[in-house]
Each structure stands twice: as C-alpha cells, then as structure tokens.
C-alpha cells in the first residue's frame, strides 16, 4: 500500500500535486534527454500550468509542445519563448492568431498535407511572414501524419514553393503504445517510433535536405528509451505526473505519481459502498486508451481496500472490502487513471510538499481547446 497523507485543510474535491515528485519526474526526464543528446520539449497539455512550464524550462527544456493555439497563447503569456504546436491548424481564425503569436514568440506547427500547407502558407505570406513547419509522420497510431519514408519527402517537395512556410523537421508520436499490454510491447513501440523517424529523416538525403528537428515521444515510449542516433528531440508530457495508466503499462509505480484527487466521503449507503464528492466532472471517464480494459475502476484509491467503480457527474461510487473502515467526512486520495483530462477539468491545483500545502497553482490552460 502507498502511504500518502490526506490530512490537508482544504475543501474537496481538490487536485493535489506532490511537488517533490514533480521535481523528481522532471529531473529524471531532463537527465535522460541530456545523456542521450536529445533536446526535451515537454508537452504541456498534461499540466496546463504556467508555473510548471517555467520549471521545465528552468531545468533545461528547449521549449514546450502544445496541442492548441490557445494553449500556446497561455504559455507565451507565461513567458515561454519557444512553442511547437504538434497538431494541424487549419481554420483561418486560428491561423491569424498563430500569426499574431509568432510576432511575440518562436512558434512552429505540425503539418501533414499539401492542402493544410496551402492554408497555412496563405495566411502567413499575407502577413509577410514565414512559419516553421514540422511534418508529422504516422508511426502506427493511425491518427494524423504521412506514412513513414518517402511520402514525407514528397510532401516537402510538393509544398516547398509556398512562400509562407519554412521547413523545420519531422515528428511522430507513437500513441498506440497506450493500447499495449506488456512492458516488452511498450519497448518495441518505443524502438519502432525512433527507427521510423530516423528512416524517414534519411530519405531527405535524396533531395539534399537535412531536417533540423527529428522529434519523437510519448511518456511510455520515453520512459523506456535510452536514446537513438538521429533523434534529436523528445516530447513526453504526462511524465510530469504519471498516473494509473502508466502504472498499468509498467512504466511507473504509485510512489512516482504526483497528481492525486482529494475527495470526501459523503455517503455510506451500504457496508460495502462509499460515495465520494468527485465524479466524472473531476476524474473524466478514461479507462485506458483505445478501449482496453487495463484498469480497475476510475483511479487508484490510496491506502484503502476500495475500488472507484462507478462515476456519475458529481459522485464517485467506491466498492469497499467489508473490513474497510471509511466514515462520512473522511477523505481519500486517488491517483487518476489519466492525469491529462483531469487537469483540464479544474481551475486550480494545490502544490503539496511533505504533507503541507505549499502553493496554489492556476491551471491557466484548462479548457483552452481552440
């Protein structure tokens, strides 16, 4: 059993961030980047907290990754100077905001089609500017991206005359790793992710071009990674907190998980059932990516023989071992299944250290979906 204190003088439900663990998780990944010769560009969708992004930069990150223009705007306001939007941006409204943002900070953006490139270039060339673009490669997630190898070079060649664009490199995210069942499988995806990006990078030799950025990353694939010649940037996000999904994948343990939900027991309708004041509006409904039933319930309840079995919007229903004592008014701490959507649902989190609240952290990027 994990022994984390839950004696905090704060109202519930509340998000607790263990600052010692965050600092350790950040330092560990930064060290991995430093020793493998890669730059770390953490994905801030995992925490959406300006203060934590600044900590990542202070520890050595080259910049941050964001998924939305609005997230990037929040990070620019927080003083982050180098932001990669690892996503396709195609609406004119967003692209105009992106052009405005590019006057304030260094921005780059993902791209995987000639059609998307044209829209992007038109807005930037009309503003008399160029945007750095990074071609997305599909390394098996089957989401966005061009297939590995020559298609990336073909896309580059097809759009190189567009005046609003500047080629920066290639990136991939092997998110299919979240559907894997064993650590061996996770390691195989990690290896594949790097091999695919390096192989694709090598294809650019045919056109005499060297991608400046060769970028990979997810938390599971980076936790088991030991570097790869040719990969020069990594983009994990969730590693800052880790969560029950990372534990289930075998790449983290509960003592490393830095984000917990503090909840109060509000009802004990039966000897084997307790209800807490945090439901799907706090935990989200994640039970592991791609529909895999890797997890027991909606989070890992600390120090109790209890399973968070059902969620309605404001209620979390736990089944209890019949010997478990849990009274109305008592608090419990729960490691969420997936930290990222949990962060997106609350306005603030409490930074805790050794049983005490040290800081209130504003989740300024929450809800920034445009």
Ligand X SMILES: Cc1ncc(COP(=O)(O)O)c(C=O)c1O
Shortest Å, Cβ 110 to ligand X:
7
C-alpha to C-alpha distance for 355 and 370, rounded to whole angstroms: 37
C-alpha to C-alpha distance for 2 and 255, rounded to whole angstroms: 7
Shortest Å, Cβ 41 to ligand X:
9
**Closer Cβ to ligand X, 17 or 86, answer by number:** 86
Peptide bond into 309 cis (omega under 30): no
Q: What are phi and psi of 74, to 5 degrees?
A: -60, -45
**Closer Cβ to ligand X, 176 or 218, answer by number:** 218
**Closer Cβ to ligand X, 48 or 304, answer by number:** 48
Q: By the criterion CB under 6 A, which residues form the site for ligand X? A: 43, 46, 65, 86, 173, 175, 217-219, 235-239
Shortest Å, Cβ 187 to ligand X:
15
Half-sphere exposure of 40 (CA within 13 A, CB side): 28
**Closer Cβ to ligand X, 97 or 173, answer by number:** 173
Cβ neighbours of residue 91 closer than 8 Å, sequence gap 6 or more:
none
Are 231 and 198 in contact, with CB atoms under 8 Å apart? yes
Which CA distances in Å does 162 have to 120, 123, 153? Answer: 9, 11, 15
Shortest Å, Cβ 63 to ligand X:
13
**Closer Cβ to ligand X, 177 or 265, answer by number:** 177
Shortest Å, Cβ 206 to ligand X:
26
Are 368 and 32 in contact, with CB atoms under 8 Å apart? no
Cβ neighbours of residue 154 closer than 8 Å, sequence gap 6 or more:
none
**Closer Cβ to ligand X, 14 or 62, answer by number:** 62
Shortest Å, Cβ 29 to ligand X:
10
Element (H, E) at 349: strand 348-353
């Amino acid at each position: 059993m994990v022994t984390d204190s839950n004696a905090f003088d704060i109202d519930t439900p509340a998000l607790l961030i263990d600052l010692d663990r965050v600092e350790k998780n950040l330092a560990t990944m930064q060290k991995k980047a430093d020793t493998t010769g890669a730059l770390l560009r953490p994905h801030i969708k995992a925490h959406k907290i300006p203060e934590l992004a600044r900590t990542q930069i202070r520890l050595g990150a080259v910049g941050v990754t964001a998924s939305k223009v609005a997230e990037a705007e929040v990070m620019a306001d927080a003083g982050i100077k180098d932001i990669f939007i690892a996503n396709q941006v195609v609406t004119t409204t967003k692209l105009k905001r992106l052009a405005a943002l590019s006057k304030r900070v260094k921005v780059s953006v993902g791209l995987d089609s000639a059609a998307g490139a044209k829209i992007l270039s038109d807005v930037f060339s009309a503003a008399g500017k160029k945007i750095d673009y990074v071609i997305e490669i599909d390394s098996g997630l089957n989401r966005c991206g061009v297939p590995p190898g020559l298609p990336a070079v073909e896309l580059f060649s097809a759009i190189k005359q567009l005046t609003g664009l500047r080629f920066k490199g290639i990136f991939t995210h092997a998110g299919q790793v979240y559907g894997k069942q064993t650590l061996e499988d996770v390691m195989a995806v990690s290896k594949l992710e790097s091999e695919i990006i390096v192989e694709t990078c090598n294809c650019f030799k045919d056109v005499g071009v060297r991608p400046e950025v060769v970028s990979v990353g997810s938390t599971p694939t980076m936790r088991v990674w030991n570097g790869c010649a040719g990969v020069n940037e990594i983009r994990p996000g969730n590693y800052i907190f880790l969560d029950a999904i990372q534990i289930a994948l075998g790449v983290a343990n509960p003592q490393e998980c830095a984000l917990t939900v503090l909840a109060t027991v509000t009802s004990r309708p039966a000897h084997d059932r307790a209800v807490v004041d945090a439901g799907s509006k706090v935990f989200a409904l994640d039970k592991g990516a791609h529909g895999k039933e890797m997890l027991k319930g909606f989070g890992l309840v600390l120090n109790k023989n209890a399973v968070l079995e059902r969620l309605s919007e404001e209620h979390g229903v736990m089944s209890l071992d019949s010997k478990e004592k849990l009274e109305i008014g008592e608090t419990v701490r729960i490691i969420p299944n997936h930290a990222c959507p949990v962060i997106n649902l609350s306005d603030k989190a409490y930074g805790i250290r050794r049983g005490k609240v040290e800081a209130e952290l504003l989740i300024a990027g929450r809800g920034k979906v445009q």
